[in-house]
Chains A and B, each alone.
Chain A
Amino acid sequence: MSTEDVLKSKFLDDTLTFSQFRDNRRVVVPAAKLQAIFQCLKSDLGFDMLSEVTAVDYLEYEGATDRFGVVYVFINVATGERLVLKTFVNDPKPTLPSAYSLWKSADWLEREVFDMFGITFTGHPDLRRILTPDEFTANPLRKDYPLKGRGERHNFPVVTRAES
């Protein structure tokens, strides 16, 4: 039974949208069922590696109904099978369950999504900023954040030659 059939039979009541482009197989799932689908992918389908977690901000995107899309890429190391899983979350307080309990690689990947998009992952053991400085307050990859920032890059003391 293929991955698609297993997921369809397990989650009969939910709207799982499958699509494929060449060997890139994708599934869009509702955020409410994410934890159960993670469990199914890990234990029933043998996806033992989480290789990527990233997000997309659909603010002002033509035809988009949700604010953020969060994308997971899973690999079954035994068979080499890959699956791209996508789900949507919205303002205010976009929140998803953490995949850390099933895949340890989710640790830094989810921290990066948290840092750049402000999406929180419940159940993550150490959810704090990973790329920007600790005192940074914005989420730079959100579309409403200006490219040149809000003056953070200028907010430093000046060291002059006379005093150094």
Chain B
Amino acid sequence: MAMKDVPDNIFMTTLDAAASWARANSLWPMPFATACCGIELMATASSRFDLARFGAEVMRFSPRQCDLMIVAGRVAMKMLPVLQRIWLQMPEPKWCISMGACACTGGVFDTYAVVQGIDRFIPVDMYIPGCPPRPEQLMAGIIALQDKIKHGGTLNGTEFARRDHSTGPVPFDKDELIRIREANEQLISLN
């Protein structure tokens, strides 16, 4: 193709790169805020930290309008089916940020009622450490996710098809199985 006829204000790029550039700069978050991380998430969206600078200020409370789920806070056993359902309702392409120690690992809540890391049951793209993370950390996480989208994104989302297994630890690790067996043995000896 003759390049000399192309005017100065026309750029040549791949469709993948153009789509990823657009997607990365207009993330619409779904705030799944269940605990104190949600307060930091709200602070990040408000004027002092201003998430709008990164194109991610449009918090939508309908999952059908969102493409970024921010799970901020601990997820209780009773809440996980809701979380999975909301995730499945979000249209493609979509990403998930696990914000804070509780969403990533269960944090200090190592009890029967709290899921030990959402990555065991839904896919997670970015983990943000902290208890709770400061708004700067959340923004750093969003910038890192934008970078990931810009460098790995494709127009039709083929990069997601390869992720066909859970990113988290397997639901039962060996220690957990031993603990459950011990608990049951203790129960039998008591009765």
Q: Which residues of A contact B (CB under 8 A)?
A: 59, 132-133, 138, 140, 144-164
Contacts and interface: CB of A to CB of B under 8 A. Distances in A.
B46 interface: no
Interface stretch (B4-12, B77-85, B146-154): B77-85
Interface residues of B, number: 36
A156 B183 contact: no
B136 interface: no
B122 A151 contact: no
A164 B186 contact: no
Contacts, number: 91
Given A144-B187, A148-B179, 17 more contacts: A133-B78, A145-B112, A147-B112, A148-B112, A148-B180, A149-B112, A150-B184, A153-B77, A154-B120, A156-B80, A156-B81, A157-B84, A159-B87, A159-B88, A160-B166, A162-B162, A164-B88
B24 interface: no
B171 A154 contact: yes
Contacts of B80: 156
B121 A159 contact: yes
A160 B165 contact: yes
Contacts of A146: 112, 179-180, 183, 186
Nearest to A163: B164
20 contacts: A140-B112, A144-B186, A148-B112, A148-B183, A149-B113, A151-B176, A153-B114, A156-B84, A156-B115, A157-B84, A158-B120, A158-B171, A159-B84, A159-B88, A159-B122, A159-B123, A160-B164, A160-B166, A162-B161, A162-B162
B122 A148 contact: no
A51 to B, nearest CB: 25
Nearest to A154: B171
A145 to B, nearest CB: 8
Contacts of B176: 148, 151, 154
In the A-B complex, the 9 residue pairs with the closest CB atoms:
A149-B112, A161-B163, A146-B183, A161-B123, A162-B164, A154-B171, A158-B166, A133-B78, A161-B160
